Structure 1
C-alpha cells in the first residue's frame, strides 16, 4: 500500500519507511518560537545544561505577540530573547517585523518537503508549501533546540478534494470556516489533512496559507497542500534550498476522503464562542458591530488588505465602529503603502497598528469592552481570546469584515462588491 504526504515526509526525516500510528524520532529542518513561548523554551534549554543550539541557521525567534511591548515585564522577556539570539546566532525578528507565520515562509527559511516545528499552535500554516509543520510546547522545542530532532506519532490522514470555483465575494476564509463547521473543533484531532483538487490551482498562495493556518481549529496536527507550479515559483523565489515536492501515492490509505464543490458556497461567519459554530452570513446579518479587525496570521497578507480596500474605497467606516488594521509583516505594510491600499483604508477610517498579533491574542492594541461585538479575520473566537471574556467575537473573511465595518453590523460583502 502507498503512503500519504505526511507518511512520506516523516519517513524521509527518520531515514526509514513508516506508517500512521508509529512513533518516530525525526531530524528537523527549522524551528521557531515567539515571545509568548520563547522565554520558557530558553529557560528549559539552559536548565538542560546545553551550551549551543544544534544549528543557529535553523532557528528563529520572533517578537510578535506583544509588539511593541505594552508592559515592563514583557519588555524584560523581549530582552531575554534578544540576548539569547545574539549569543546563539539564531535569527531574530524584532518589534515591527511581523507575525511569525508570515515571516518564516516570507524570509525563505522553509521549502517543500521540510519538517518544521514551532512553539505556536498555528505553525501548521506552512503546510501551504507542501511540507509538514506543526505546533509544539516550549519544552519540546527546547529539546529540539539541543538535538535538532523531535519525536512524532505518525498521523493518520484525511484527504479533502476541492472542486469548482469560489463565487464572487467568497474567499479562502469562507472555505476553511465551512470545513471547520462540517468537521467540528475536534473532528480531525491528530490527523494530517491533505488538500488537493482542481480548485487548489486557482487559489493564491495567500489563500492556501489561510486554509492551512486554520486546520488546527478542527484538531488537525498538520494541513498539507499538494505542490503545483505556483507553489514552486513562490518558494523558489524566497528559499535558496532545492524544494522536494512530495505527492501522495495513488493507493495511499486515508482515514476519510471528502469531496467538496464550492460553487454554491456563501460567505461564512463563526459565531461566539466556538470556531465551529459556523453559519452563512445571512443568518447573522444585522448583528451590531463595535469593532472590526483586519489582520492576524490568518488574513493579514497583501491580498487580504486589497480585498478590504476594494470594498472600502471611497466609503467611510460606520461612525460607532473601531476598524483596526494589522499588516502581517513589514514587507506587507510597505507593499500596501506602495499600492495605495493603506491610504484607502486610513481615509475610510481605519486605525493602523504595527505588524504583529496584539488584537488577536488580546495583549494590546484593541481589547474590546464588556458586551461589545467584534468581527475579526482571526482564527479563534474563544471566550476571552481578545483580552475580555465578556466580549463576543465573530470570525469572517476580510471582505465580510470590511463590509461589516461600513455597515456597523454584520453584512454580506457581496452587496458592496456588486455596487
Structure 2
C-alpha cells in the first residue's frame, strides 16, 4: 500500500452520516427558579475563536513552489495571490453535544474586502500531528493554500480529536465532521474580519474521501439553515464514501471486489475502534478481532501512531482480521451496528438547491466507485440534478485527489 504512506494524503476514507444530530448550541442547562440560586455560566457560542496564530505568509511565487512540492498539478495554473495562513482553535461540540474545542486552518489571499470561502474537508488521518493545524505539509493546509492562492479563503478543519483538538477522533462520525466544519467557518468570519476581509455568505464546499462525505454533510447543514448567515453555494466532493452499507462495506469484504485488501483492513480496524466508543459494538476486542490482533489493534488507533507503523502491524486480508460473526453483522446489521450504519449513510439523501458535481474515479482502489453512483441516484431521486466527473479506470484514489482539487477550482470558477 505505497500510497498510504503519504503524509499529506494520509490514508483514504470511509464516511459517515449525520443522523445522530448535535445540539444546536453548546449552552449549559438553565438554572433553577428558586430565589437566590445562581445561574451557571453558559459556554461560549460555537465558532468562538480561542486563538488564531499566523503560521505562514507566502508570496504568490512562494505559494507556487510550495504547491509544486506536493504535486505539480496543484501549481498549474499558477497562483495569483500571496497568502496568510492562520492556525485557529475554536469552540465546537462533541458527539454528545457538549462543549469542545477543535482546530483548523484559515488561509486568506492578500488583499482587502469581500472573499468567498472554500471549505475543504480532508481525508482519513490517523496520527493527530499530520493535521493541517500542526503539519505545514498536511493535506488540508496544502488544499487551503491552493484555494487561497486562487483568491478564495481556504477554510480547512482538522475535525475533532486531530491536530490541536483534545480527545480521540470520532472517525466516521459525519455529525461532528459537519459541526467542526461549520464552526470553523464561523470562526473564519471572525478571523477574516480582524484582517479587513469579509467572508461572503455563499460557501463553496468540497473535500476528499472521508472529507467528500463530510462535505455533503456540511452542505446539508448549511442548507438547513444551521447558521443564519452562511449558506451553501456549490458542492463538489471528491471520491467520497457516501454509501457504507450497500457500496463500501460489501466491496471491502469482497476480496475479489477490486479494492486493495490492505486498505480495507486499515479502514475497518479504524472504523470498529472508533464506532465502539460511540455505539458500543463489543465488550472485548476478541469479539471482533481475531487473535493476535485482538490484543494489538485497539491501541494502534490512539492518535499517536503513524500510518506506516499501523499498516505493518495489520494482516493483509480482512478474513484474517475480523471474526466471522462480525463480518456477518456488518453485512446483516441489527441493534447497535444498524444504528451505527444508519448514522453513517444518508448524506446524499436530500435535495440540494445549489449546483452539485461529484468527482471520482472508476479505478479507485480504496473507495468503491459505487459510492458515487449511489449518491447520484439518491440526489436525482429527490429532484436534484448533480453531474459527475469520472476519471476512469486508470486513476487511483490519491490521484483522484490531485486531479480533483484543481478541477473543483475550475468548476467553481464557471459558477462565479
Pairwise TM-score range, normalised by the shorter structure: under 0.3
TM-score normalized by the length of structure 1:
0.26
TM-score normalized by the length of structure 2:
0.27
